[in-house]
Amino acid sequence: MGRYLLKRLGHAVIVLIGVTLVAFLITRMTGDPVRLMASPDATQADIDLLRHQLGFDRAMYIQLFDYLRGVMVLDFGDSLRHGEPAMLMVFQRMPATLSLSGVALLMALVVAIPAGIIGATRRGSLADAVGTLLALLGQSMPVYWLGILLIIIFGVQLKWLPAGGKDDWRSYILPSITLAAYTSASIMRMLRSGMLEVMTQDFIRTARAKGITERYVLYKHALRNAMLPVVTIIGLQLGALLGGSVITETIFAWPGVGKFVVQAIYNRDFYVVQAAVFLFAVIIVGINLATDLLYSVLDPRIRYS
């Protein structure tokens, strides 16, 4: 286990270095931030002076080296727009993003797990057909379309729920549904197919032959073994929820990292974008590692070497 962890941590470091390099290069390809920061009546000399003060007149490899040197000591630079430490500003908005993603994941699990079990145990029934149809719709609808549709129906026409912002628990409902739709559909379909496969295995027939109750067979044997691929999907979808928050937070004016990053991209605030991408990468890499380790808990036969 120790060697496996060290190996995975080494891979994680390589991934983070790659993400840092790609984020640095892509942000530099979006344009010149000095043009946006300079006043409309600024002369070329004023623009050149501002570019020199910000260090953007240096060679690209020198800028990259200085940035990597700062990352090594967790210094991601100051926001070009606000003048504050970029990572600190991202951290301040991260709780709103994590809370929204957490509520969306919880909502997806509450819907997907019972629906997947019902679909597997009552294959071909009306409940199975309805669940499969809803899963298909959940995976087919674009996030931005579903979010706008929910705002129009429940926020504008019916006025039941807030159309945007973060005020109280009611503000979580629409953006959480928007984020949870695709995740719930993916988990439900994976769990249904996994349980259908497990239910045909020999150990399930042996358990039934021993006279064990159907409920015990279903939840102790079938569900536990079918959860292995589902755990992988949950880990991947949690990362997708964080990534999908960029669109959802923009639609619902949610004060999280996603909306903040979109504004930073428009403003060409390089350091904020790079800090947010790095932090998201760290979280996703950590989730993937935790998912791998959880396998041995669900299935004691799995060992890491």
CATH code for position 261:
1.10.3720.10
Predicted confidence (pLDDT) at residue 246 exceeds the cutoff of 80? yes
Residue 231 lies in a domain: yes
Structural domain total, the chain: 1
What average pLDDT does range 251-272 have in this prediction? 88
Q: What is the pLDDT of residue 167?
A: 81
User: Rg of the Cα trace of the chain?
Assistant: 24
Closest CA to 80 of 48, 116, 34, 49: 34
Evaluate whether 278 touches 20 at the Cβ level (below 8 Å). yes
Asked if residue 88 is part of any domain, the answer here is no
Measuring CA to CA, which residue among 201, 20, 185, 18 is closest to residue 104? 185
The 10s digit of each residue's pLDDT in 71-100 is 888 888 888 888 889 999 999 998 998 899
In a domain, 36, yes or no: no
> Is 240 a domain residue?
yes
- Coil/strand/helix, residue 85: strand
Return mean pLDDT, the chain: 83
Question: Cα angle vertex 230, ends 228, 232, to 5°?
Answer: 80
Over range 100-112, report the average pLDDT: 90
CB atoms closer than 10 angstroms to residue 91? 14
Q: In sequence order, what are the beta bridge partners of 85?
A: 78
Q: How far apart are CA 132 and CA 268, in angstroms?
A: 43
Whole-prediction pTM: 0.81
Residue 25 lies inside a defined structural domain of this protein = no
Are 278 and 290 contacting, i.e. CB atoms less than 8 angstroms apart? Answer: no
Contact (CB, 8 A) for 63 and 53: no
Q: Is residue 200 assigned to a domain?
A: yes
Write down the pLDDT at residue 133: 86
Which of the four pLDDT bands, split at 50, 70 and 90, describes residue 242?
A: confident
Segments forming the whole domain that contains residue 238:
97-267
Structural domain contains residue 68: no
What mean pLDDT comes out for the span 30-37?
79
Instruction: Give the start-end residues of each E strand in 47-190.
Output: none
User: Does 74 map to a domain?
Assistant: no
Arithmetic mean of pLDDT, 158-182: 87
State both tokens at 297: 């808990």
SS3 51: helix
Give the helix/strand (H/E) hosting 35. helix 33-37
Q: What pLDDT is recorded for position 304? A: 55
- Distance (Å, rounded) from C-alpha 150 to C-alpha 161? 10
Phi, psi dihedrals of residue 132, rounded to the nearest 5°? -65, -40
Q: What is the mean pLDDT of residues 251-259?
A: 88
What percent of the chain shows pLDDT beyond 90? 8
Q: Give the model's confidence band at 152: pLDDT under 50 very low, under 70 low, under 90 confident, else very high.
A: very high
**pLDDT at res. 51:** 82
The arithmetic mean of pLDDT across residues 169-173, rounded, is: 88
Span 206-233, average pLDDT: 76
Summarised one tens digit per residue, pLDDT across range 267-301 is: 888 899 999 999 988 888 888 888 777 766 666 55
- By C-alpha distance, which of 93, 104, 98 is closest to 147? 104
What pLDDT score does 195 carry? 82
